[in-house]
Structure 1
Amino acid sequence: MSAFIFALGLTLMHFLWQGLLLGCATAVALTLLRNSRAEYRYVVACAGLLACLCWPALELWQRLASDAAAASASSPVLPWMGDAFSDNITGFNLRDALRYVVSLWALCAAMLALRVVAGLLWIDRVSRQPASHPDHLRWERDLEQLARRLGITRTVRLRVIDALASPVTAGWWQPVVLVPAALVGGMPPELLQALLAHEMAHIKRHDYLVNLLQNLIETLLFYHPAVWWLSNRIRLERELIADDIAASQLGEPRRLALALSELERLRFSHHQLAQAANGGNLMQRIQHLLRPAPQALNWKAAVAMLGVAVACLSVYAQASAADKSASGFKPALIDFNSCAKPVWPDGAIAAQRTGTVQLEFKVGKDGKVKESSVDHSSGHPDLDEAARIGISKCQFKPATKTGKPIETKQKMQYVWTLE
């Protein structure tokens, strides 16, 4: 199996306990900051989710680097550890299991990636539609005024869409606000303006880029509940921050709260890669705008966190045991006392031939050399053949996998010098 697939499989397996640990640590930090500003909780949640990406990425890089270092190791006197043929091992095969795990992970990640791409294409298509609504120019002017008040220098486009139930924002360099036609015609203008102020707050904060990174992490680590919990918490705190910015610009938190209560009565759909005014818990956001109250510590949640911590330790123990089992390979070791000194070929000394020959051979389960060949020639066929005959007389201690002898490929160099 490919070294990359094996390393990736181990990394995905170890993230089971790593994700639990990061989720627990973030949950504790958010609990301590439950009565602080939403910006602080947002930063903590983002850091936790980013760590979910960086930790396994760093571990995968270290695994591949260590494998590459082992594969490139070569010495004149020590054998090079090559591929192991573990066909004699019966029972559970971790390598085969990891191959299936990686295949299933890749399939699911590809499907989620296609879903994200479909969302991007949908946003691009509807944002390119020509403006045809009769009130389009009026709301575009209001959007320009909001942009100036928030210090946004980029041009923000506005599109009125029929097949949409709530305003959404997409794009970073060329942002666009998509407004449902039903809201333009049915919601009081002052309430719709409050929702647009919320969308402009997302543009000011570049939330679209953070949401793109969230979708990437959700796609790669979709199998872990902690990733989805952290991502949902980021979206909740982000909406609270955008609400605060919009309310401060409007000077009327109550107006935005009324606009959110109108949205609560609508059946809306959430589009990936876009921030919408209906994100998060609407009732919680309304309460945050009107009557923010200190949150009491929920001790029942501590019991659940204790259970998660126990599960984290259990998964860590299982993953570590499996990792040790997977790496429990011991290479073949040469018994130098069994090796006779190579015989110089006739005429090689007289011609003063020297050089280094690298041999490739198999060490059987009995420790005997077989199927030897010249991997890199010394430049002299007679020296190459003499080295090949010499290595065939050596005895090795066979390589083992989980304590059982196995057949391995080896490489070793002979250096022919004249003193």
Structure 2
Amino acid sequence: MSTHLIWDNLVAYSMQIGLLIGLAAFVPALLRLKVPHTKLAYWQILLATCLLLPAVRPWKQAMLTVSRPVFSNIADLPPMQPMPPTSLSTSEIALAILGAGIVLRLCWFAVAFLRLGRLRHHSQPLTPPTAWSVEADIRVSEAISSPVTFGFLRPVVLLPANFSELDVQIQDAILCHEVLHVRRRDWLFTLGEELVRSLFWFHPAIWWLLGEIGLAREQEVDRLVVELTKSREGYVDALLAIAGAAPRLDLAPAPLFLRKRHLKQRVVSIMKEVRMSKTRSFSALAAGLGFLAAACWLVTATFPLAAAPQSVNDFPGVTVDTGGPVMHRTAVIYPDAARLHNIQGVVVVEASLDSSGNVTDTRVLSGPPELRRAAQQAVLQWHFSMEGSSNTRQVKINFELPSGQRAPATVVTVNPPAMGAVNDPEKIAAAEAKIRALRSQITDQTAALRSSQDEAARQQAAAKLSELQENVSNLQRNLGPASLAGKRLARINVMGLSDQVRDQLLSRLPVHTGDTLSADSYDLTSKAVREFDEHMFVSQSANSQTGEVAFTIVQGGGSIASVSMTAPTTPATPGVKRITIGGNVQQTKLVSQARPVYPPLAKQARISGVVHLQAVIAKDGNVMDLKVISGHPLLIPAALEAVKTWVYQTTLLNGEPVEVVTQIDVNFTLSEEGGN
């Protein structure tokens, strides 16, 4: 979250607090909450409500659309110039001032604590002849002018030096007041309130509310003192006697016997006895709470808080006008067939929303037929903010081909198998044993293919290699999620989330990196991800050599741009040239081509599409690096697993072997009958 957004939220939050306290300040008078303990409860609930305002309703989230990157040759870019030094923004300066104020206030808080400790250390114990002294350490200090109480485990009551000179009735009233503070644990409440004051030192409404809480607390203790001592006039005399002394500890983080600004209200409250039945007090307080609930909803709607914008990576050439605030949306994909045939245009979609803002239905108003389905599929997964009375939104999606079309790619079409997934443990173990044996043979055949100089022998090895890879594919395609049992989870990739949200998601998962998976680990993880965000799902991939598993968590309906699921891009080998060749040309040089396995989960979910890969072919014809350009997350692992085993003929340039950069498109299609 940027400093500008933090500052805007802090201003909005401060306005929420000010408006809420301003509205709630009139409630005690309207409901005649005159009994001190009822008024104290109301003010304390109001303070707690102010602190909890950010949790009342979801924060508004803007959408930040980020175009997919277009890669250029680094050598063609001009050298970067050093950035000029930047000055602090207004929001950064304001936040620094607020932070400095909080630090200073907390420092004052610490100094006040140290001062109370010194006062206790230098004071003298006192054992007055009264029953009120048994619950606290009563001490006398010459440094104070008014009684003060502090401490939790070992409470202390400090009395001024002239305490013994006061009338016995006044002494009794003062000690009764302080001991009641000890019994009520008021010092803990005072500490909490002073911490709130430190955090909101800049907010006058918070200061006013804390003052009302302190006054109501003292009025409640006054009422209890009068009730216990049966001496109303004597207690007023005690207040007036203390009021005549010069204040010397008015800012201590502890309940003082008297703050002079509260003297008039306290005397009036003592002399004017007010009674309310428990039923009336409860009903009045309940009405006040109902008012607070309505006021909370009003102030949070008037000054909403904003979350960090959601980043959405639409396909290159796609621009979106959502037609209104969006809480969540998936990326829009440019259909491959439309791009290949240079089809462009604007698709206008009318989306129907339910009461929570989810899209329940869509209707295309206009746009090229080849682009309509992609637009509808994307919009159906969006979640709008329900601002305004309309339950429909008009979305405009512009599909425009970027300049400089890519060279034709190697295209591989993958159809789903007719068999269902195998989840029986014994069958899984047998299939995996066969796969391991076949992979061992694949390793031998690959070595033979690379080392042989005889073209006939190479063709024979390539044919055998293709047969072995096809057998592995046939076995792999029928293994369901239960086949993960006993395997190690090497990593969990989370795409498209901020670091904070990613950490929250990972903490809720039933499995973590390094765990040994069980037969139901995938299902439990998918359930946990869905509970966290219904727009997200999990895909899994396994390393063909080590058997280790990776889970990838992504937002549904979108695709991943520039996600490397193998090693990072490999630089050209020193001394070896690297050229770019179109996929159609490079496809004719394929010696061994393993067929990708159609992922069972993608098949069940009726997911099809094209995975675009950028491949670097080594000078010996092996795939040395793969990079994902785009594709559906459930299809990407299968495409990578197959393509990385392909073997090409060596490409020569002026008689020398060179590395080749090419594009490979793996097309996963479902049959009209359902792909079975």
Q: Same fold (TM over 0.5)?
A: yes
Residue 333 (structure 1) aligns with: 314
Letter in 2 for 1:121: L
Residue 256 in structure 1 maps to residue 245 in structure 2: no
> One-letter code of the match for 1:249?
L
Q: What is the match of residue 287 of structure 1?
A: 268
Matched ranges for 1:115-130 at <5 A = 115-129=108-122
Q: 1:343 to 1:174 in 2, by over 3 A?
A: farther
1:112 aligns with 2:105: yes
1:33 shift after superposition: 4.2
Q: Alpha-carbon deviation of 1:198? A: 1.0
Give the secondary-structure state (helix, strand or coil) at the position aligned to 1:160.
Answer: strand
Structure 1 position 414, deviation (Å): 4.0
- Please tell me whether residue 27 in structure 1 is matched to residue 25 in structure 2: yes
Q: 1:289 corresponds to which letter in structure 2?
A: I
**Cα distance, 1:189 vs. partner?**
3.2
Match of 1:165 in 2: 145
Greater relative contact order (Cα < 8 A, sep 6+): 1
Distance 2:17 2:41 in 1: 18
Whether 1:274 and 2:254 are equivalent positions in the alignment is yes
Secondary structure, counterpart of 2:157 in structure 1 = strand
The 3 A distance-change label for structure 1 pair 45 and 130 is closer
Counterpart check, 1:146 vs 2:132? yes
**Identical aligned pairs, as a percentage?**
20
User: What letter is aligned with 1:39?
Assistant: H
Residue in structure 2 matched with residue 415 of structure 1 by the alignment: 637
- After superposition, what is the alpha-carbon deviation per residue over 1:292-343, rounded to whole angstroms, capped at 9, x for unaligned? 479xxxxxxxxxxxxxxxxx999975x55x949x74x763410343487864
SS in 2 for 1:164: coil
Q: Which residue of 2 aligns with 1:239?
A: 218
State how far apart, in whole Å, the 1-side matches of 2:301 and 2:14 are.
Answer: 8
Task: Specify the alignment match of 1:300 in structure 2.
Answer: none
Give, in whole Å, the separation in 2 of the partners of 1:175 and 1:262. Answer: 24
AA in 1 matched with 2:52:
C
Q: Distance in 2 between matches of 1:283 and 1:109?
A: 32
Q: Superposition pairs for residues 382-397 of structure 1, below 5 Å?
A: 385=615, 391=629
After TM superposition, the structure 1 stretch with the greater mean CA deviation from structure 2, 226-235 or 13-22, is: 13-22
TM-score, scaled relative to structure 1: 0.64
Q: Which runs of 5+ in 2 are unaligned?
A: 70-87, 276-296, 316-333, 341-405, 413-445, 450-461, 474-490, 496-560, 572-612, 617-624, 643-667, 669-676
1:379/1:147 CA distance change after superposition, 3 Å: same
Residues in 2 aligned to 1:258 and 1:373: alpha-carbon distance in whole angstroms: 80
Structure-2 residue corresponding to 1:227: 206
* Residue 12 (structure 2) aligns with: 14
1:213 and 2:192 equivalent? yes
Equivalents in 2 of 1:275, 1:232: separation in Å? 12
Find the partner of 1:192 among 145, 167, 171: 171
Structure 2 residue identity aligned to 1:17: M
For structure 1, which segment, 329-338 or 378-387, has the greater mean C-alpha deviation from structure 2 after superposition?
378-387
Deviations 1:155-180 (A, max 9, x none): 41122111111001111221111111
How many residue pairs get aligned? The number is 331
Which residue identity is paired with 1:163? A
Structure richer in helix, relative to its length? 1
Q: CA deviation at 1:240?
A: 0.5
Q: 2: CA distance between counterparts of 1:250 and 1:220?
A: 39
Aligned residue type for 1:415: P
Q: Determine the structure 2 residue equivalent to 1:45.
A: 43
Which letter does structure 2 place at the counterpart of 1:36? K
How big is the shift at 1:128?
3.0
Instruction: Give TM-score scaled by structure 2 length.
Output: 0.42
Structure 1 residue 125: deviation in Å?
2.4
Whole-angstrom distance in 2 between the partners of 1:116 and 1:214: 12
Contact kept in structure 2, 1:42 and 1:238, CA below 8 Å: yes
Post-superposition offset of 1:7: 6.0
2:47 maps to a residue whose letter is: L
TM-superposed CA distance for 1:230, in Å, is 0.8
1:99 aligned residue: 92
Indicate the residue corresponding to 2:158 in structure 1: 178
Aligned-pair Cα RMSD in Å: 4.8
CA distance in 2 between partners of 1:263 and 1:52 (Å): 35
1:399-414 aligned at under 5 Å gives the runs 414=636
